[in-house]
Amino acid sequence: MNTENTAPAAPLEEPAAPRRTRFEEFWRLLRKNSLALAGLVVFGLFLATAVAGVFLTSGSKPVLDPSVVRLQEKLRPPLSRSDAASLKPDEIPAMGVYLFGTDDLGRDVFARMLQGAWVSLTVGFVAVGISVAIGIFMGAIAGYYGQQYVRLEQVMLAAWLLGGAALLAAGVRTLGAVVLVAGHAWLFFSISPWGVSRRKSPPPWMRIFLKGTIRVDTIIMRFVDIMLCFPSFFLILTVVALLPASIYTIMIVIGLTSWEGTARFVRAEFLSLREQDFVAAARALGVGNFRIIFRHMTPNAIAPVLVSATIGIASAILTEAGLSFLGFGVPPPHATWGNILSDGKRFIFDAPWLTFIPGAAILLVVLAFNLFGEGLRDILNPKLRQRN
């Protein structure tokens, strides 16, 4: 029963081991985690497919044209040969075979899947890219500047500008514009050498404006709290349903609604990193704040971000599929695996391949991302590393 006691003894670590680079170490650990490795392999294949898809399905005379409608060839099962007699020469699919069959308009499912791979991949990567960028930025600011206070003067300025924007939005054009212009004028004035905050000894009545009100960290983390108050799928659905459908809306919306987690743990990492010696050293050398944040600290906080980004791509692909099911996915002419699947579900009895091929493909790719992410987490988190 006690398997862990009888587990084979680990090979003795050689003293020279630490000389391995980080990448070698990573690779060594990854190879031991066969699920994660499989995930990586599938991930690689998917990438290759997507890139190949772009080349094979775009351009003016693509090898595999996903948009050719051949109504008389509709709902052909996979591997069936096309009927050359009824088609025009440029309608015949490559090699005369429908590898994955055809859909309800007689379009080649294989070509559509290839094209969809790239679009799905883009949706996943761009959405996650947006979310990671915002997350790192917010988390870094909160972690690094967290303990500083925002001055009353700044709060008032922000309120003033917001008020101006609100007036504009509410339709009071002139007043709003005046308020905004005045706000910006004050902003430039205060940054300038004559600004209040730059003076060596401001008069006492002015000091009240320089008083700290609220911590930067508090603002950002409360903002994260506000975002977390929205049920995320519901929020995405609301925005996607209300805005005109486009692939960009979907990517941006998914990205804008999923950065909170990243922000939280980047902040946590930063809180511990900023106390470390290398940061103090950089500061002592007079390195600028932003350089410290992005050049010195961020690379050290990137590990958990990578894990969540990998899993984030998986969930972005699933979210897109879910939106497609409800009719709010990426609109045509872009094919995504999500909308191929949800278009195909109507024909689940007549043409099961239209459901099962994209369904299985999504499952496989999402699974690969998840497993790879999980493996990454194990590898990057020394605490969870198996002690043999």
Partner 1 sequence: MRKGVFLSTRRFLILVPLVLSLLLLQSYFWVPTYDEQARGNPGRLEEYINASIGDASILNPILSADSASSEIESQVFDGLIDRDENLHFRGRVAQSWEVTEEAFFFVNDAARVPGALGSEPESVLRHLEQKRNDPAALSAPVQKSLQNIRALTLLPPRNYTVTRPRPGSDAKAAAEIRLEVAAPARIKLVLREVDQDLFTHLAEILGADYFTTFQAARHITAAPAVSETDLAALTEALLPAIEQNPVIEFRLRPGVRFHDGRAVGAADVRFTYEAIMDPRNLSPRVADYEPVKEIHILDPLTLRIVYKRLYSPAIGTWAMGILPRHLLNAEALKQEAVRSGKDPAAFSMRQSAFNRAPVGCGPFVFKEWKSDQAIFLDRFEDYWEGPVNYKTYAYRIIPDLLTQEMEFYAGTIDSYGVQPYQVERLAGDPRFQSFSGTSYSYAYIGYNLRRKPFDDPRVRRALAMAIDVNKIIRFVLYNQGERTTGPFLRQTDFYNDAVAPVPFDPQGALRLLAEAGWQPDAEGRLAKNGQRLQFTLISNSGNDIRKSILAITQDAWKQIGIDVRTDLLEWSVFIQERVNKLDFDALVLGWSMGIDPDLYQIWHSSQTGPHQLNFGGYRNPEADDLIIKIRQEYNHDRLVDYCHQLHALIARDQPYTFLYVPKWTAVLDKRIVIRDADAEGRSRYRRITPTKTGNHMFYFNQWIKLAEMPQFSN
Partner 2 sequence: MIAFIGRSIVQKIITLFFVSIVSFAIIHLAPGEPSQVDPLNPKFTPEMVERFRTAFHLDQPLYVQYAYFYRDLFRGSTVSWKDNQPVLKKIWERFLNSLPLFIVGTLITWTISFPVGIRSAIFRGGIYDRSATFISYVLISIPGFFFAYILIILVVTQLEVPVIGMQTFGIGDTAWPFRIMDRLWHMLLPSILGATGGIAVLSRYVRSQMLEVEGQDYVRTARAKGLPWEMVHYKHALRNALLPFVTMFGLILPGLIGGSVIIESIFSWPGMGRMAYEAILSRDYPLILTINFIAAVLVLIGTFVSDVLYVLVDPRIRL
Q: Give the 3-state secondary structure of residue 68.
A: coil
Query: Closest separation between CB of residue 316 and partner 1, Å?
Result: 21
Q: Judge contact between 56 and 48, C-beta under 8 A.
A: no
Quickly count: other Cβ atoms within 10 Å of residue 87's Cβ.
17
Query: Closest separation between CB of residue 358 and partner 2, Å?
Result: 8
Cα–Cα dist 111/343, whole Å: 16
Contact residue for partner 1 among 241, 281, 364, 384 (CB under 8 A): 241
CB nearer to partner 1: give 13 or 350. Answer: 350
Quickly count: other Cβ atoms within 10 Å of residue 260's Cβ.
20
Residue 257 interacts with partner 2 (CB under 8 A)? no
Quickly count: other Cβ atoms within 10 Å of residue 257's Cβ.
21
Q: Which stretch binds partner 2 (CB under 8 A): 16-24, 132-140, 179-187, 336-344?
A: 336-344
Residues 368-387 that bind partner 2 (CB under 8 A): 370-371, 374, 383-384, 386-387
Residue 159 interacts with partner 2 (CB under 8 A)? no
Query: Which two three-digit tokens encode residue 343?
Result: 């278009």
Buried b (16+ CB within 10 A) or exposed e, 314-344: bbbbbbbbbbbeeebbbbeebbbbbbbbbbb
| Residue 48: contacted member of partner 1, partner 2, none (CB under 5 to 8 Å, by partner type) | none
Query: Closest separation between CB of residue 249 and partner 1, Å?
Result: 11
Cα–Cα dist 324/343, whole Å: 8
Cα torsion angle, 210, 213, 217, 219, sign? negative
Closest alpha carbon to 109 in 57, 48, 55, 160: 57
Q: Which DSSP helix (H) or strand (E) runs through 215?
A: strand 212-215
Residue 104 interacts with partner 1 (CB under 8 A)? yes
Contact residue for partner 2 among 17, 51, 166, 177 (CB under 8 A): 166
CB nearer to partner 1: give 129 or 331. Answer: 331
Contact residue for partner 2 among 226, 280, 294, 332 (CB under 8 A): 226
Residue 243 interacts with partner 2 (CB under 8 A)? yes
Query: Which two three-digit tokens encode residue 284?
Result: 């002592």
Q: Which DSSP helix (H) or strand (E) runs through 65?
A: none
Contact map string, positions 58 to 87, toward partner 1, x by CB under 8 A:
---------xxx-xx-x-------------
Query: Which two three-digit tokens encode residue 37?
Result: 């490795």
The residue ranges that bind partner 2 (CB under 8 A) are 1-4, 7, 35, 166, 169-171, 222, 225-226, 228-231, 233-235, 237-239, 241-244, 314, 318, 321-322, 325-326, 338, 341-342, 345, 348, 355, 359, 362-363, 366-367, 370-371, 374, 383-384, 386-387
The residue ranges that bind partner 1 (CB under 8 A) are 67-69, 71-72, 74, 104-106, 241-242, 244-245, 327-328, 331-333, 343, 345-350
